[in-house]
């Protein structure tokens, strides 16, 4: 065989030839041989909750190495509309070098606050690369991520002089529409832009202005140094003007339907060109009653039916305001004056002690601690019947049914049971995973046990796989998942929040909620906590998942073993005191609206309106109707 040698000049010529063939193309091939125009940006989505200056990491891919200019756009509506973003820091924005796949790594900082992102919002960012010769390539876009920036205060008028008024001391009253934002000062003043006088009150009276036109301005400044929009009131002073009557507004009190026989009203009055000398109220058209300068009134022992409350103000010139009126309905129809009654309509004894329950369609699935999983026909709510029982090798505690399969936490094992034929439930497989409670979300089952919790991949029910087991000093008694977080209640101590983005390595993302609970459940942006030792319901706002804020508490739940939410109502089993029903349409004011008194210690719970299913130790299955 004849050998061939190439000189350095030959190699150079060969390389130039190859590049001349490939070089004119401004596209490269990536995954699945899909072509992308270069320069191409691949950007990494920031992890966790971000604030103000947000560092973005990206890779820049290009074939000729001539450099590109970088710009940012952002969207807060899931990518429907985009706005220019403020870029700063990092590796800069001009002449950024790229290279062949996988490209060169760079960073850029987005000033989200400068672009008007305030409070808690969700955003995504697009990084665009344009070659210095003007060619725009393929941009890179992050997934949605959460931002928590300082928020701007908002104020609005309650009362102010308008039009032509007399030359007298004038009162201006406003309100803070964002009470969660602490205010350092309100800046106010007539005929100043911006105003310079300060107050911490939401009402000021200024000396009589001179005759003619004036403009009063006010704005709020938060402790974080952020200012609200300026409110302005333009008016003309003229001694020939008539007296401006006062105004009054009810600030607290019922409207619509209430289920209690007492209520409380508060109001606020204003007189822009004088002073209020007294208030009068009327209840149920009984006549006006003078209460001086009091601004609240309570009413007790109200009867069922419609009621009305009106209030008016009187000023120093004897003029009355237009009355403000509330009409409300009192309904006291259930036991103890509650609007709903939870009435037992059937009871089905079980062979052993039962703890877990799930319901789907016409079937109830019940974990019997002594015998296994029962499939119960509940098509006739007044006459439930056991159709089949799948024996367990251990002691079943809890169950969740998804499609044709029941996933059961059975003490020291995790069981998958085929329930596609209700008359013949049968075991499919089991794993040696300890569990006493179970929560299923997506393709994963979360099992709490006496020493922590496990995450099981159930995407293939015939072959489940234990992704991980987290060992904790306390036993997990209740789990609720809102991706990417798992809220875990323990037998003692605080509720903890785990980041479960990596199912094989969950991590505690903060110190916990700061409250203890054995049972928990979530709805919208709120988490509800209960305990079998403490008869109180606690509500936290989890709009920012890693910074829960206490909202309210009530003792109306009694002792709690399980929760269930249906619509605007929270149900709980309350130890040996049956079931309870609370209206949680206003999380700041959970209200007891119904109770049952069926005997036995309740454990499992499910609601399919208007029916409540409960199971309990020594009790079996009980079905209640909400009336």
- Per-residue pLDDT tens for 29-82? 344 334 567 899 999 999 999 999 999 999 999 887 778 999 999 999 999 999
Binned at pLDDT 50, 70 and 90, residue 332 comes out as low
Of 30-44, 224-238, 398-412, least confident by mean pLDDT is 30-44
Task: Please provide the CATH number assigned to the domain covering 340-626.
Answer: 2.130.10.10
Tell me how far apart the alpha carbons of residues 343 and 351 are, in angstroms, rounded to a whole number: 24
Count Cβ neighbours within 10 Å for each residue of 214-223 and write b for 16 or more, e otherwise. Answer: bebbbbbbbe
- Coil, helix or strand for 615? strand
- Coil, helix or strand for 282? strand
Of 224-228, 508-512, 582-586, least confident by mean pLDDT is 508-512
pLDDT at residue 598 tops 70: no
Please identify, in words, the CATH class of the domain defined by 155-237: mainly beta
CB atoms within 10 A of CB 606: 19
pLDDT for 553 equals: 86
Which neighbouring-strand residues pair with 185?
Answer: 221
In the chain, what are the domain boundaries? 24-149, 155-237, 247-332, 340-626
Strands 163-165 vs 231-237: parallel, antiparallel or unpaired:
parallel
Binned at pLDDT 50, 70 and 90, residue 601 comes out as low
Radius of gyration in angstroms for the set of CA atoms belonging to the chain, rounded to a whole number? 34
Cβ neighbours for 397, distance < 8 A, ≥ 6 positions apart: 355, 356, 367, 369, 409, 410, 411, 435, 436, 437
**Residue 439 Cα to chain centre, angstroms:** 19
Per-residue pLDDT reduced to its tens digit, 428-455: 999 999 888 999 999 999 998 988 899 9
pLDDT at residue 91 tops 80: yes
pLDDT for 333 equals: 56
pLDDT for 597 equals: 66
Tell me how far apart the alpha carbons of residues 346 and 364 are, in angstroms, rounded to a whole number: 14
Indicate the average pLDDT of the chain.
86
Arch. (CATH architecture) of 24-149: Sandwich (2.60)
pTM: 0.50
Instruction: Find the mean pLDDT for residues 521-541.
Output: 83
pLDDT at residue 14 tops 50: no
User: Which has the higher per-residue pLDDT, 28 or 75?
Assistant: 75
Q: Exposed/middle/buried for 4, CB within 10 Å: 0-12, 13-18, 19+?
A: exposed
pLDDT at residue 122 tops 50: yes
pLDDT for 603 equals: 75
% of the chain beyond a pLDDT of 70: 89
Binned at pLDDT 50, 70 and 90, residue 475 comes out as confident
List, in sequence order, every beta strand (DSSP E) within 411-534.
Answer: 413-418, 426-431, 437-441, 444-449, 452-457, 465-471, 476-482, 485-490, 496-499, 507-508, 519-523, 526-530
Binned at pLDDT 50, 70 and 90, residue 595 comes out as confident
Instruction: Find the mean pLDDT for residues 326-344.
Output: 74
pLDDT for 212 equals: 94
Binned at pLDDT 50, 70 and 90, residue 316 comes out as very high
Instruction: Find the mean pLDDT for residues 174-181.
Output: 90
Instruction: Find the mean pLDDT for residues 582-599.
Output: 83
pLDDT at residue 344 tops 80: yes
Distances (CA, A) of 344 to 341, 448, 517, 612, 617: 10, 31, 28, 9, 17
pLDDT at residue 150 tops 90: no
Looking at 3.40.50.300, 2.60.40.10, 3.40.140.80, 3.10.20.90, the CATH number of the domain 247-332 comes to 2.60.40.10
pLDDT at residue 549 tops 60: yes
- Coil, helix or strand for 488? strand
Instruction: Find the mean pLDDT for residues 164-171.
Output: 91
Of 6-20, 352-366, 468-482, 533-547, least confident by mean pLDDT is 6-20
CB 556 within 8 A of CB 584: no
**Same CATH fold, 247-332 and 24-149?**
yes
pLDDT for 547 equals: 84
pLDDT at residue 180 tops 80: yes
| Most confident stretch, 17-31, 291-305, 434-448 | 434-448
């Amino acid at each position: 065989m004849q050998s061939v040698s190439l000189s350095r000049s030959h190699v150079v010529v060969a390389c130039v030839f190859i590049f001349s063939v490939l070089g004119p193309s401004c596209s490269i091939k990536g995954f699945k041989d899909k072509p992308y125009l270069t320069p191409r940006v691949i950007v990494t989505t920031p992890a966790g909750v971000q604030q103000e200056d947000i560092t973005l990491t990206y890779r820049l891919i290009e074939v000729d190495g001539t450099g590109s200019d970088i710009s940012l756009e952002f969207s807060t509506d899931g990518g429907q509309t985009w706005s220019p973003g403020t870029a700063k820091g990092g590796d800069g924005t001009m002449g950024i070098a790229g290279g062949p796949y996988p490209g060169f790594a760079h960073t850029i900082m987005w000033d989200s606050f400068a672009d008007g992102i305030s409070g808690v919002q969700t955003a995504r960012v697009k990084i665009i690369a344009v070659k210095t010769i003007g060619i725009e390539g393929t941009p890179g876009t992050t997934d949605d991520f959460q931002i928590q920036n300082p928020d701007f205060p908002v104020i609005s008028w309650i009362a102010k002089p308008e039009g032509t008024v007399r030359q007298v001391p004038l009162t201006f009253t406003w309100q803070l529409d964002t009470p969660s934002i602490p205010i350092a000062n309100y800046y106010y003043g007539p005929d100043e832009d911006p105003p310079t006088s300060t107050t911490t009150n939401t009402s000021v009276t200024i000396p009589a202005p001179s005759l003619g036109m004036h403009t009063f301005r006010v704005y709020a400044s938060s402790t974080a140094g952020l200012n609200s929009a300026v409110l302005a009131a333009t008016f003309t002073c003229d001694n020939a003007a008539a007296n401006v009557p006062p105004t009054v507004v009810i600030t607290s009190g019922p409207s619509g339907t209430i289920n209690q026989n007492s209520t409380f009203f508060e109001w606020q009055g204003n007189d822009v060109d004088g002073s209020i000398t007294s208030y009068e109220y009327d209840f149920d058209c009984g006549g006006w009653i003078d209460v001086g300068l009091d601004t609240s009134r309570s009413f007790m022992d109200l009867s069922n039916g419609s009621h009305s409350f009106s209030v008016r103000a009187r000023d120093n010139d004897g003029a009355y305001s237009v009355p403000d009126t509330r009409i409300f309905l009192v309904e006291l129809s259930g036991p103890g004056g509650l609007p709903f009654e939870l009435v037992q309509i059937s009871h089905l004894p079980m062979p052993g002690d039962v703890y877990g329950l799930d319901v789907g369609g016409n079937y109830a699935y019940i974990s019997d601690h002594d015998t296994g999983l029962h499939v119960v026909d509940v098509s006739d709510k007044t006459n439930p019947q056991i159709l089949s029982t799948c024996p367990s090798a251990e002691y079943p505690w809890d169950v969740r049914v998804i499609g044709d399969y029941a996933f059961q936490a059975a003490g020291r094992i995790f069981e998958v049971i085929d329930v596609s034929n209700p008359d013949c439930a049968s075991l499919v497989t089991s794993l040696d995973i300890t569990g006493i409670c179970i929560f299923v979300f997506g393709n994963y089952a979360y099992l709490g046990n006496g020493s922590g919790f496990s995450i099981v991949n159930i995407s293939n029910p015939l072959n489940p796989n234990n992704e991980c087991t987290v060992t904790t000093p306390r036993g997990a008694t209740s789990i609720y998942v809102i991706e990417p977080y798992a809220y875990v209640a323990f037998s003692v101590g605080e509720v903890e929040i785990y980041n479960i983005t990596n199912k094989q390595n969950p991590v505690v993302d903060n110190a916990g909620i700061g409250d203890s609970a054995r049972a928990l459940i979530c709805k919208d942006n709120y988490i509800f906590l209960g305990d079998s030792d403490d008869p109180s319901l606690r509500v936290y706002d989890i709009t920012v998942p890693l910074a829960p804020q206490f909202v309210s508490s009530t003792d109306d739940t009694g002792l709690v073993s399980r929760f269930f939410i249906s619509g605007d109502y929270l149900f709980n089993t309350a130890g040996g005191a049956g079931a309870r029903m609370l209206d949680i349409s206003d999380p700041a004011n959970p209200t007891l609206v119904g109770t049952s008194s069926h005997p036995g210690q309740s454990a499992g719970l499910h609601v399919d309106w208007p029916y409540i299913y409960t199971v309990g130790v020594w009790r079996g299955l009980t079905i209640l109707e909400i009336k």
